[in-house]
Amino acid sequence: MATERARTHSGATQLSDRFSTFYVDEMFFGIDVLRVQEVLHHQPMTRVPKAPEVIEGLMNLRGQIVMAIDMRRLLLLPKRASGSPPMNVVIRTDAGAMSLLVDEIGDVLELEETAFEPPPVNLEASARKLIRGVFKLEEKLLLVLDPERTIESAIG
């Protein structure tokens, strides 16, 4: 099991050393594995009238009602190509279980805390407000998603 280390950046208090990763368009995100409940193929959704556009709907996950957030819409990206259904990353938040609809699932990465940096100032504002910081990997940046900020942005 991953050990947690104290973190003070952006008010976050804990940062694991293992991250479950996924893609939304060309953006490579990671979320603390301790916050991930499960990863699923696309599930049937029930639309919620008058819900914000980023809320794809509600899904019944073995008796647990879970709100699904379309990460493409939240990040102001174009719609997903038809015929390519999103994947669900079900996460634990202070508000309960939520599903993030993403394009592709990556691997679990174990990273050194010393490589963690604040969000870059040149990152698009729609993404910057959702992340705790970044890890510079050999070929790309891993954007570490803040689950609570993501939920706040989605439901206002």
pLDDT single digits (tens) 41-66 = 999 999 999 999 999 999 999 999 99
- Give the distance, in angstroms, between the CA of residue 149 and the centroid of all CA atoms in the same chain: 10
Could you give the CA distance from residue 86 to residue 46 in angstroms, rounded to a whole number? 15
Q: Is the pLDDT of residue 127 over 80?
A: yes
Could you give the CA distance from residue 100 to residue 109 in angstroms, rounded to a whole number? 19
Unique residue bearing structure tokens 């309960």 = 96
* Phi and psi at residue 151, to the nearest 5°: -65, -45
- What pLDDT does residue 81 have? 81
- State the amino acid at position 48 in one-letter form: V
Domains and CATH numbers, the chain: 5-155 (2.40.50.180)
